[in-house]
Structure 1
Amino acid sequence: MPFGGGLERLEARDPGLRAVRRSARVTLVACAGFYAARYGLGNHVAAIYALFGAIASGGMSFVPGMPRERARTLLMALPVAAALVTLGTVLGVHSWTAALGMLGVGFVVSFAGVGAPRIGGLAGGLQAFYILACFPPYAPATLGARLAGLATGMVLMAAAEVWLLPDFPPGRYADRLARAAALASGALRALVAEPRSPSDSPERLMAASEELRMSRVPDDGRPTSASARDRALCQGASYMRHLLAQTWQLAQDARDTPGIRDPAASRLLDASATACHGVALGLSGRGPAPSDAPYTAAAADFKAHRIRPPMWGANSAAVVRGGAIALDIAYTGALLVTAVRIVLGAPVSADATPPAERPGPFWYAGQPVLLLYARRLRAHLTPRSVYFQNAVRIALALAAGRLIVGVLDLSHGLWALLATITVMGTSAAGTRTALWPAFGGTLAGAVLAAVMLYSVGDHVVVYAVVLAPLYLLAFSAGPVLGMGWGQAFSTLAAVAAFGQLAPIGPGVAAVRFTDIVIGGVVGALVGLLAWPQGGVGELRRACSRLLDQGTRAVTEIVDTITGDGTAGDALVQARLAQVIAEATYVQYATERGAPDAEHPAETDFQAIMLAGDRTVTMGQTLVDHCPPGALAAWPRSATQLRDAAHHLRLTALSLTYDLRSGKPRPAPVEPPDRNVPTDHTVIADVCAASGGRAPDPLLYYAVDAAIWLASLQRVVTAVRPATEGRTAAPG
């Protein structure tokens, strides 16, 4: 790939020069430790472990967080790294003991990353410490030098994270949520001030909703840990997206349908705007934790007010619809406030969810981090978990590679296992993608290394001079230019390092290439044979089940309250499917890059999580407050609600098929005059049924159910990519 274009092209490929800065840190630390031990102390063992300690903890690890947080993580991982080096040194006596140890270490280190992104980011480096120590020569007497070199490399790397070309602080997901809350607050206030022409454009609301999608967030900025804070951030983002969607709907209605909003609904919207403003201030650190107090009086006033006045006049349907959406926004805002209070560590009310309806939405509030982490571990200790699948795949590949290297007695077998780690992806496609660049780059590097060894010979000073530039290119070329370039330069850098420890000949380049091929083939075979679908495949299955169980619950609830069915266990099954899907979605969000490379932005999985949450929460509300058959007295509205519920299920079943097949199709464009019941028609019937009198309070459950079904229909329809010319609401 051409190198022209200067700094602008480099910044285009490496925003903020993060990869270059990181490469410079790792190179300076690795070479400083190596030179000090090799030439200052004359200790070759300490030199190689100081070099490798920096490379494994800085170059092979991807620890998220602020510079000081990364430094603390490295220091806390030092005892674990020392234990792995010790274990590898002891078990390296035989190939079979080393392979068994590799099996255990590979699984435990990989699986420990569940619920802890920083541990997961260190997995490759920690495995590398055991790999280095378990290879010949078997020399337990050198354990002290090994540990000293390791500690030197890791401590220097931790210090460099803070003081040597530190990265710019990554953007916080909480800031995205704060910006969305501020925008929602402004839009709601604009709707209150002038219902007919809101100042904020609906397009801005859609853009803010899209910014909350995990696929729009950098890898190291995603809230994916098992902590209550990260759980609440993910949950709050779902509530925020629904609030934005309903605000968007009100803005569209204000443009399309002139009318006068109910004063009680306006007060409710104003309370929601106040709460969203508090959310924005609290998350941005400019104010205290938000409170749901603004909702209490406004919601009670609205619910009492909307059943008192008679419903008449040309604008009655628009008034009723606007009030129902305002109440939905208020309920969602109250949930958002609770989630944000958990994020900020503020106290929240005790979980009042009845035992039969648990887990409640905020069951994790106040739980210790270690307990939440243990729950996440237990939940994923199953072959259906992608965490478990990946840990088994990596453990099998590393153990097989170590056994093969021992049987073949490869002199530089270390590189075989490092190649295995490099090419192991979370899916067969990921493994294939990594395999060929690794082979091609290593072959090119091996050829250049052979030329270098033949030309330089035993002139150690030359290797010492070129070591730092080669490692700088090795660590920066991979992220910027591609894996092949990184492998080529790392091959040259490894030869330059070992050339300073002992005389080597041109044949070592061919040996390294052979090792890379063996390790890459082992990793590719295991990756292809053991659960090749990876995170996105498991997430598709979980989401298809959530859509299936969720829409079955919707039709069952609607059939029950309209007098055409009986309540069963559909809502319970939907709640269970929601828990499984949310856990799988969090795992998917931890994968680096775009796990679904063929369709990176087509399926809005977070919208499916939102649909599942809306199904369970609002469905339970209807079950609790609307008795079976309560709406049967209004057969026209009941029929339309049942038709809308079944239309939603048909839409979801089509999407479910696409998810299971892995071949998403664009959502069809439905004509505006489609013969499908909508919330508008139900509300018109409710207004007509009142006959100019104060309506029966139960009729408002028909309104709320219609708004619920309409919002779910929009969310499910927007999950798939929009066809050209179609604009979907944020959801």
Structure 2
Amino acid sequence: MSRWRPAISDPGLFGLRNAARAALVMPAVFAFAHFVVDDPQTTLFAAFGSFAVLVFADFGGTPRQRLEAYGALALAGTVLIALGTLCSRTTWAATAAMAAIGFAILFAGIVNGWLAAGATAALLTFVLPVSLPADVAEIAPRLLGWGIACLAGTAAQLVLWPRRPRDALRDQLADAARALAAQVAAPTPEREAAAATAVRELERRFLSTPYRPAGPTATAAALAYLVDELAWLAALDAQPLPGAGAPDASADDRALLGAAARTLHTAADALDEPHRASRRRALHDGLAALDAARDELTKRLPERSQAAAAAGETALQQTVAEAFRHTAVARAAADVGRAALVAAGESPPRLAEAGRAAERLAADHASARSVWFRNSVRGAVALALAVLVAHETGVQEGFWVVLGTLSVLRSNALGTGATIVGALVGTALGIVAGAAIVLAIGTSGPALWACLPPAVLLAAYAPRAISFPAGQAGFTVLLLVLFNLLRPVGWEVGLVRIEDVALGFSVSLLVGLLLWPRGAGALLRATLGDAYARGADHVRAGLHALTAPAGAADGALAAAERAAEGSGRRLDDALRQYLSERGGDHAGPADVAALAAGAASVRRTARSLAALVPDGDDSPLLEQGARALSDDVRAVHDWYEGLGRALAAGEDAPALPARDGSAQEHVLRCASQAVAARDTGATAAAFALLWASLHLDDLRRLERRLRAPAEAFAR
């Protein structure tokens, strides 16, 4: 019979290196504070502060970016420790401050992935002082302990095993870009299948992470944007192209698609090695060549169209359709390249621009329609209630109550309950193991100090590589060793811990039952519905901007785009939480992901429509074409808006009326006349309308792909 072994998941052993770093540094910091500074408050805050910096906070990026992130955490912790100490003497002040600070820290994660990654460490710097009542005179010793922890912890993070694990999302973005480059350069069924597989794996990876990509706001936004852009490009390039790849394909088409493929390749290289300037220079060169090829095709399109028109309207339609699809592929490749430059850290936004972006993100999520807002409110209420309970009950170690609450609170009541069971089991096992250690070696002397590094190693490694209950067991062992080193009290401190954390667990369960107990399940329907409705509005606004007088519709188009992008971000967060929650009646993940991808395609189509607005004077053809296409625009808009309502209500999607081909025929005749008359302005207007009509065709094809997952989601 094989012996049981715990399942350990730690690819590359990066988790073990992080834990070993903490096991080396935290005991040294604790010993320095204990023996050299010899102040209980300094020692306590040095111990927990170093654990926060070394274990709870794990920032990625370049060494400079990481130094800035740890520096920001140190500064924030300084303010929070002082504020927490000031509020700790009064129950109502401690409770109110915990609610406000807890919400601010948790909600700030929506603005920047680094703020989300550092939230637990930042919360600890407030939870610890506000839960342990102290006079103002204790602020200085507490800050000294925190300062020692930050200096030692930051230095260790940057010097001791500083190599970071490769970003799996970046790797898969690069893989998808290369697969699409191969497909664009020389399409074959095998390459099409490989590109589709790479994009599916990319989307799966993106949705499997609890947060959006971490890092500076612009870099994180670029990585998220690249996922949508590559998915759009995959769907676009998989559509049949009249005459694409034929031996008589024009030199302009071959040059454009070749430049698009090279741009995708160099974008993949920049994503692989974002810190190499040569990769970014090559991408700049590729983008310049792609823009030149696209300009050349656009300049020669009227001449090609005249030759095609001479052969009849069908030949003209094929020529325009080919140019539309090739130009759309090239534009998408250019967008991928520019986003890859931002993702590589180029052209960081100025402070004012970053502030406006953060303000827009916060505004998008400042309502109960956002799971991030709900989670922040739930977390703030739970933490405040835990502080109230700790103060009113007079428990011996009040911060254990608050930490217990924080450790098990989840996004729905079922998940919270299941986590509590695991936490209780882990805590009980940790008490048994810690008590055995204390009983075996006593409460003082070198033996207990020798147990501290292994205890830190277990507490830091177990939750990452083994399981949450194992992490709770390891943390409990660490606390028993630490507190017996601070003041020898024996194994009975374990009983105090289990009583205190049980209070905290009860607070989490109560809050989970009272505040949105069903989690993201119900909200996902509403956010899906809103994403389709706002996407449909964006499409309509794009068509209106195409035909309105120059500049007249810019404000409405910008407002529609902001609303659509905001709804898309809320949907992204709701979907992540939905897929990660325990239990409940869940629709198939593939169906839900397909519907979310469909909403992203609608938004991307709207952006492409907005880019069609021709330069120069307004042409009467635009107004005539708008009237011809108005019925089709209305039908498509109303269907996607109706789909949104159906998804929100759990009903079957409505039917999309068949298209009346007379509108496209009318626009095609206008284009033929404009080409024959060699009217440059009218030709540009006609081509814009024809391409808009082809975008509406794309949305109709998307409707057919969405019907099956929509029906499955409604059941």
Please state which band the TM-score falls in when normalised by the shorter chain.
0.7 to 0.9
Whether the 8 Å CA contact 2:612–2:688 is kept in 1: the answer is no
Whether the 8 Å CA contact 1:449–1:495 is kept in 2: the answer is yes
Residue 244 in structure 1 maps to residue 234 in structure 2? yes
Could you tell which deviates more after superposition, 223-232 or 55-64?
Answer: 223-232
Task: State the match for 2:550 in structure 1.
Answer: none
Distance 1:717 1:23 in 2: 51
The one-letter code of the counterpart of 2:429 is A
Residue 709 in structure 1 maps to residue 709 in structure 2? no
Residue 630 in structure 1 maps to residue 587 in structure 2? no
Distance 2:417 2:468 in 1: 12
Task: State the match for 1:194 in structure 2.
Answer: none
Distance 1:300 1:622 in 2: 16
Whether the 8 Å CA contact 2:49–2:145 is kept in 1: the answer is yes
Give the secondary structure class of the aligned counterpart of 1:201.
helix
- How far does the alpha carbon of each residue in 1:27-77 deviate from its partner, in whole angstroms, 9 at most, with x for none? 222112112333455444333222111112222334343566334422332
Once the two structures are TM-superposed, the CA of residue 431 in structure 1 deviates from its matched residue by 2.9
Once the two structures are TM-superposed, the CA of residue 253 in structure 1 deviates from its matched residue by 7.8
The one-letter code of the counterpart of 2:606 is T
Once the two structures are TM-superposed, the CA of residue 337 in structure 1 deviates from its matched residue by 4.7
Cα separation, partners in 2 of 1:315 and 1:235, compared to 1, 3 Å: same
Task: State the match for 1:614 in structure 2.
Answer: 605
Residue 657 in structure 1 maps to residue 646 in structure 2? yes
- Choose which of 7, 15, 19 in structure 1 pairs with 2:15: 19
Distance 1:266 1:629 in 2: 34
Distance 1:82 1:3 in 2: 48
- Choose which of 421, 426, 440 in structure 2 pairs with 1:436: 421
Once the two structures are TM-superposed, the CA of residue 108 in structure 1 deviates from its matched residue by 2.5
Could you tell which deviates more after superposition, 75-84 or 326-335?
Answer: 326-335
Task: State the match for 2:299 in structure 1.
Answer: 300
Residue 130 in structure 1 maps to residue 121 in structure 2? no
Once the two structures are TM-superposed, the CA of residue 246 in structure 1 deviates from its matched residue by 1.9
Once the two structures are TM-superposed, the CA of residue 150 in structure 1 deviates from its matched residue by 1.7
Whether the 8 Å CA contact 2:395–2:500 is kept in 1: the answer is yes
Matches for 1:186-225 after TM superposition, within 5 Å = 186-190=182-186, 198=188, 201-213=191-203, 215-216=205-206, 219=209, 222-223=212-213
Cα separation, partners in 2 of 1:280 and 1:170, compared to 1, 3 Å: closer
Give the secondary structure class of the aligned counterpart of 1:115.
coil
Task: State the match for 2:88 in structure 1.
Answer: 92
Task: State the match for 1:69 in structure 2.
Answer: 65
Once the two structures are TM-superposed, the CA of residue 206 in structure 1 deviates from its matched residue by 1.1
Residue 60 in structure 1 maps to residue 56 in structure 2? yes
Q: TM-score, normalised by structure 1?
A: 0.78
Whether the 8 Å CA contact 1:554–1:615 is kept in 2: the answer is yes
The one-letter code of the counterpart of 2:80 is L
Whether the 8 Å CA contact 1:211–1:217 is kept in 2: the answer is no
Whether the 8 Å CA contact 1:132–1:414 is kept in 2: the answer is yes
- How far does the alpha carbon of each residue in 1:381-432 deviate from its partner, in whole angstroms, 9 at most, with x for none? 4454444433332222112111111111111221110011112234445434
Cα separation, partners in 2 of 1:280 and 1:37, compared to 1, 3 Å: closer
Residue 269 in structure 1 maps to residue 257 in structure 2? yes
Cα separation, partners in 2 of 1:722 and 1:23, compared to 1, 3 Å: farther
Distance 1:579 1:114 in 2: 14
The one-letter code of the counterpart of 2:694 is I
Matches for 1:298-337 after TM superposition, within 5 Å = 298-309=297-308, 310-312=310-312, 321-337=321-337
Structure 2 alignment gaps of length 5 or more: 548-552, 711-715
Distance 1:621 1:596 in 2: 45
Whether the 8 Å CA contact 1:64–1:221 is kept in 2: the answer is no
Q: TM-score, normalised by structure 2?
A: 0.79
Distance 2:357 2:540 in 1: 34
Whether the 8 Å CA contact 2:185–2:258 is kept in 1: the answer is yes
Once the two structures are TM-superposed, the CA of residue 467 in structure 1 deviates from its matched residue by 2.4
Cα separation, partners in 2 of 1:365 and 1:472, compared to 1, 3 Å: closer
Give the secondary structure class of the aligned counterpart of 2:195.
helix
Once the two structures are TM-superposed, the CA of residue 506 in structure 1 deviates from its matched residue by 4.0
Cα separation, partners in 2 of 1:577 and 1:224, compared to 1, 3 Å: farther
The one-letter code of the counterpart of 2:249 is R
Task: State the match for 1:361 in structure 2.
Answer: none
Residue 577 in structure 1 maps to residue 563 in structure 2? yes
Distance 2:164 2:634 in 1: 49
Give the secondary structure class of the aligned counterpart of 1:114.
coil
Give the secondary structure class of the aligned counterpart of 1:603.
helix
Cα separation, partners in 2 of 1:558 and 1:387, compared to 1, 3 Å: closer
- How far does the alpha carbon of each residue in 1:261-314 deviate from its partner, in whole angstroms, 9 at most, with x for none? 355444443443354455445555424223223322222222552244224599
Give the secondary structure class of the aligned counterpart of 1:614.
helix
Cα separation, partners in 2 of 1:367 and 1:591, compared to 1, 3 Å: farther
Distance 2:314 2:347 in 1: 46
- Choose which of 481, 485, 493 in structure 1 pairs with 2:478: 493
Distance 2:97 2:69 in 1: 24
Residue 418 in structure 1 maps to residue 407 in structure 2? no
Could you tell which deviates more after superposition, 172-181 or 104-113?
Answer: 172-181
Whether the 8 Å CA contact 1:553–1:574 is kept in 2: the answer is yes
Distance 2:667 2:80 in 1: 71
Cα separation, partners in 2 of 1:473 and 1:582, compared to 1, 3 Å: same
Task: State the match for 1:360 in structure 2.
Answer: none
Distance 1:313 1:592 in 2: 50
Distance 1:632 1:614 in 2: 20
Task: State the match for 2:713 in structure 1.
Answer: none
Give the secondary structure class of the aligned counterpart of 1:249.
coil
The one-letter code of the counterpart of 2:625 is A
Task: State the match for 1:228 in structure 2.
Answer: 218
Whether the 8 Å CA contact 1:470–1:492 is kept in 2: the answer is yes
Once the two structures are TM-superposed, the CA of residue 209 in structure 1 deviates from its matched residue by 2.5
Give the secondary structure class of the aligned counterpart of 1:425.
coil
Residue 32 in structure 1 maps to residue 28 in structure 2? yes
- Choose which of 502, 515, 528 in structure 1 pairs with 2:487: 502
- How far does the alpha carbon of each residue in 1:198-241 deviate from its partner, in whole angstroms, 9 at most, with x for none? 48610122133235437437859954667334334433443333
Once the two structures are TM-superposed, the CA of residue 540 in structure 1 deviates from its matched residue by 4.8
Give the secondary structure class of the aligned counterpart of 1:138.
coil
What is the percentage of aligned positions where both structures have the same residue? 24
The one-letter code of the counterpart of 2:567 is A
Whether the 8 Å CA contact 1:594–1:600 is kept in 2: the answer is no
Structure 1 alignment gaps of length 5 or more: 192-197, 349-363, 724-731
Matches for 1:466-615 after TM superposition, within 5 Å = 466-532=451-517, 540-551=525-536, 574-584=560-570, 594=580, 602-604=592-594, 605-615=596-606
Could you tell which deviates more after superposition, 547-556 or 161-170?
Answer: 547-556
Once the two structures are TM-superposed, the CA of residue 435 in structure 1 deviates from its matched residue by 2.4
Once the two structures are TM-superposed, the CA of residue 372 in structure 1 deviates from its matched residue by 2.9
Give the secondary structure class of the aligned counterpart of 2:186.
helix
Cα separation, partners in 2 of 1:487 and 1:251, compared to 1, 3 Å: farther
The one-letter code of the counterpart of 2:389 is I
The one-letter code of the counterpart of 2:565 is V
Distance 2:702 2:350 in 1: 27
Whether the 8 Å CA contact 1:21–1:167 is kept in 2: the answer is no
Once the two structures are TM-superposed, the CA of residue 652 in structure 1 deviates from its matched residue by 6.9
Q: How much is the aligned-residue C-alpha RMSD, in angstroms? A: 4.6
Task: State the match for 1:161 in structure 2.
Answer: 157
Whether the 8 Å CA contact 1:107–1:392 is kept in 2: the answer is yes
Distance 1:557 1:440 in 2: 57
Once the two structures are TM-superposed, the CA of residue 557 in structure 1 deviates from its matched residue by 8.4
- How far does the alpha carbon of each residue in 1:81-109 deviate from its partner, in whole angstroms, 9 at most, with x for none? 12222222232223333223322322232
Whether the 8 Å CA contact 1:259–1:318 is kept in 2: the answer is no
Whether the 8 Å CA contact 1:57–1:157 is kept in 2: the answer is yes
Distance 2:26 2:578 in 1: 25
The one-letter code of the counterpart of 2:261 is A
